[in-house]
Amino acid sequence: MVDLNTIASLCKRRGFVYQSSEIYGGLGSVWDYGPLGVELKNNVKNLWWKSAVYERDDVEGLDASILMHPDVWRTSGHVAGFKDSWVDCKSCNKRFRYDEVKQKTCPECKGELTEPRTFNLMFKTFIGSVESEANEIYLRPETAQGIFVNFKNILASSRKKLPFGVAQIGKAFRNEVTTGNLTFRSREFEQMELEYFTYPEDSDKWFDYWVNERFQWYKKFGMNKKNIRLRKHAKEELAHYAKSCYDIEFLFPMGWLELEGIAHRADFDLKQHSEISGKSLAFYDEEKKKDIIPHVIEPSGGVDRTCLAFLIDAYKTEKVRGEKRVVLAFHKELAPVKVAVLPLLRNRPELVKLARAIYKDLRGDFKVTYDDTASIGRLYRRQDETGTLYCITVDVKSLEDKKVTVRDRDTMEQERISVDMVKKYMEGKLR
């Protein structure tokens, strides 16, 4: 398996991920996505949205605000319970999560550890012009609460009946204590969350359904089945709101770690918000003629972790004619760039004109790039290393026979295609 330093260096060099505010020394565990990173991230989000919302008739979307009334977080249990404890090593100054340190001494240098210190993971800020305690609010640590507090609004405007779900993708913020490992545990990140509301008696069945559905989703987009597994939470691990939970884990270079959690939240959130806000969040069942507080199944994935896992999973090296070839063998829907147009000569105006015309014809429907800044060998290596699916080379012969060479990233096979067939050919391949 590839190590994380190799991935981090590729991410920086090729424009997937940069550290935030790097020229000022960087901001710890906050990341910016470069030109290729943003394409990968958008692909992940679009594929999730497509499968969660467009391909179903029982899920609607939502885009709630990051800032919410502070009572939301008191009611949800986050103000009282969303805490982490950490210890510091008095010798090497390294910091560890208390729950991850098994022994009483530093896991790295065996030095003495401080007493555990606890703090709330939510970022605080102020609303309005006065910086007083009364004006304190939080940056949301999960997107889910935006769905719960809008439950009645969505029900009224969509006229959905149980079971149905609400999907949301958005930023979340956590003041994590232990960082490192690239984007794995960031302080600002994005979540893809689905709250699926069911009749209480059907909730276990839907829980099993969503665990399987989400597990299959990663495999559908090419994740190697050796690198992904399901793990059921032990009772003592469960979050304060969960009755049961499975993690989908990925084999990161640091070990098996959570990629997504699927929690059975029962009626915890809707009940709490109903009680504290005084506004009932029950569903009125016309047939049974009674109010029901639905139970909730929550598949909750991280966009950043998913991108990181797909990057690691796609990374391959092989020997081709005695030389090392690095390829990001992304599934075609995830590949940041679908086609690269590569003119072999920069100083032949007719050749450049033809290459530009092909590039312009293709762009707009999918992400296409144009590169004439190196020799063909280097241009291929660059595109392989970022996972571009097809390279189209335009050479001197193209001017005579009106054909170009299309090279497949995975097989490296090359085909001569008529210039006027290129668009159709690509549409067929990418469909």
Q: Does 189 bind ligand GAP (CB under 6 A)?
A: yes
* DSSP class per residue in 388-405: -SEEEEE-HHHHHH-EEE
Query: CB neighbours of 274 closer than 8 A, spacing ≥ 6?
Result: 280, 281, 282, 293
39/193 with CB nearer ligand GAP: 193
Taking CB under 6 A as the binding criterion, the range among 47-55, 161-169, 185-193, 213-221 that sits at the site for ligand GAP is 185-193
Does the N-terminal peptide bond of residue 163 adopt cis geometry, omega within 30 degrees of 0? yes
Q: Does 258 bind ligand GAP (CB under 6 A)?
A: yes
- What residues numbered 104-143 form the site for ligand GAP, per CB under 6 A? 142
260/267 with CB nearer ligand GAP: 260
CB of 116 to ligand GAP, least distance (A): 20
Token duo for residue 180: 């490192």
CB of 76 to ligand GAP, least distance (A): 10
The Cα 287–Cα 293 span in angstroms is: 15
CB of 28 to ligand GAP, least distance (A): 12
Q: Among 88, 304, 384, 395, which residue interacts with ligand GAP (rule: CB under 6 A)?
A: 304
Residue among 77, 101, 74 nearest 89 (CA): 101
Q: Among 41, 78, 160, 185, which residue interacts with ligand GAP (rule: CB under 6 A)?
A: 185
48/370 with CB nearer ligand GAP: 48
Number of residues that bind ligand GAP (CB under 6 A): 19
174/382 with CB nearer ligand GAP: 174
Burial class (CB in 10 A: 0-12, 13-18, 19+), 38: middle
What contacts 24+ positions apart, CB below 8 Å, involve 250-254?
A: 250/223, 250/305, 250/309, 250/312, 250/313, 251/1, 251/226, 251/227, 252/4, 252/181, 252/184, 252/308, 252/309, 252/312, 253/1, 253/2, 253/3, 253/4, 253/7, 253/312, 254/4, 254/181, 254/184
Q: Does 191 bind ligand GAP (CB under 6 A)?
A: yes
154/309 with CB nearer ligand GAP: 309
The Cα 110–Cα 96 span in angstroms is: 13
CB of 52 to ligand GAP, least distance (A): 15
The Cα 295–Cα 151 span in angstroms is: 12
Q: Which residue is nearest to ligand GAP (CB)?
A: 302
Strand partners, 118: 85
Buried b (16+ CB within 10 A) or exposed e, 305-340: bbbbbbbbbbbeeeeeeeeeeebbbbbbebbbbbbb
Q: Does 186 bind ligand GAP (CB under 6 A)?
A: yes
Residue among 45, 86, 271 nearest 171 (CA): 45
247/384 with CB nearer ligand GAP: 247
Residues 138-167: x where in contact with ligand GAP by CB under 6 A, - otherwise, as a string: ----x-x-----------------------
Q: Among 88, 249, 260, 267, which residue interacts with ligand GAP (rule: CB under 6 A)?
A: 260
219/423 with CB nearer ligand GAP: 219
144/167 with CB nearer ligand GAP: 144
Query: CB neighbours of 163 closer than 8 A, spacing ≥ 6?
Result: 58, 196, 197, 198, 199, 202, 206, 294
Taking CB under 6 A as the binding criterion, the range among 93-101, 132-140, 259-267, 341-349 that sits at the site for ligand GAP is 259-267
* DSSP class per residue in 41-90: HHHHHHHHHIIIIIT-SSEEE----SB--HHHHHHHTHHHH-EEEEEEBT
CB of 124 to ligand GAP, least distance (A): 17
- What residues numbered 359-378 form the site for ligand GAP, per CB under 6 A? none
Q: Among 43, 120, 203, 300, which residue interacts with ligand GAP (rule: CB under 6 A)?
A: 300
258/372 with CB nearer ligand GAP: 258
72/144 with CB nearer ligand GAP: 144
The Cα 283–Cα 264 span in angstroms is: 18
Q: Does 302 bind ligand GAP (CB under 6 A)?
A: yes
163/261 with CB nearer ligand GAP: 261
CB of 298 to ligand GAP, least distance (A): 6
The Cα 212–Cα 41 span in angstroms is: 23
Q: Does 269 bind ligand GAP (CB under 6 A)?
A: no
Contact set with ligand GAP (CB under 6 A): 142, 144, 174, 176, 185-186, 189, 191, 193, 258-261, 298, 300-302, 304-305
